[in-house]
A = this chain, B = another copy of it.
Amino acid sequence: MARGETRAERIYANLRGDILTGRLLPGQRLPFADLGVRYSTSVGVLREALSRLVEQGLVLSEPQLGFRVTPVSEEDLRDLTSTRIDIETLCLRHAINHGDIAWESRVVASFHTLDRTPELATVQPRTVNEDWATAHAAFHAAVLEGCPSRRLRDIAASLRDASELYRRWSRHLGSEDTRDIAGEHRALRDAVLARDEDQAVAALTKHISYTTRALLDSAPAELMATSADA
């Protein structure tokens, strides 16, 4: 085991990744017996990791009944979206007002990476390319990193994580074929570089809303199905 790293931390990171990438589905129960085999560790470590995820809102704990991945719901998606718009735009305004040249450079660099990464997996169509998902997260993180408040950045980041759960499903629906995601990112980047606060906020708001709308318009049924999936 690497120095200064406990097993509990590793398992925590593994679990978190498996939830965020959809290997563990929303609503799915998480019995200790199964997890113990999957991650080859003891109950104590698992409880510790799961407790942390509960506090993050990614896992739900029902006393004496065990843990489960937080289910998705239409109502939560609406709440999450409006909160993200509120807080990410707040963060964005701070970033535009306080970010330095190094920050601008990181925005440009991460946009370039994202722009050159294909969005869909080549081998398995209708599936998000993992590299693209990473680059996408990195671009948005870079934009918000210009905000000088550590706490505000952390909050924004945790909200973005929560919405990863939902983003995973939007591509399956195929209702986004007409959408120009790359263009939305470009608009955000340009407004940021021009230090145009209102323009940037508008671009980010649109970007966040579109994903949610695509989900809500086309597949409330499927949404419900995934959350009922016990």
By a beta-carbon cutoff of 8 Å, the part of chain A in contact with chain B is 4-6, 8-9, 44, 47-48, 51-52, 54-56, 63-64, 79-80, 82-83, 86-87, 90, 149-152, 155, 159
Contacts and interface: CB of A to CB of B under 8 A. Distances in A.
A86 B93 CA distance: 11
B64 A4 contact: yes
B155 A63 contact: no
Q: Is the interface of A mostly helix, strand, loop or mixed?
A: helix
**Count of chain copies:** 2
Contacts of A55: 51-52, 55-56
Contacts of A86: 90, 149, 152
Q: Rank and list the top 6 A-B pairs by shortest CB-CB distance, nearest first.
A: A55-B55, A83-B151, A52-B55, A4-B63, A48-B51, A51-B51
Contacts of A54: 52
A54 to B, nearest CB: 7
A5 B159 CA distance: 28
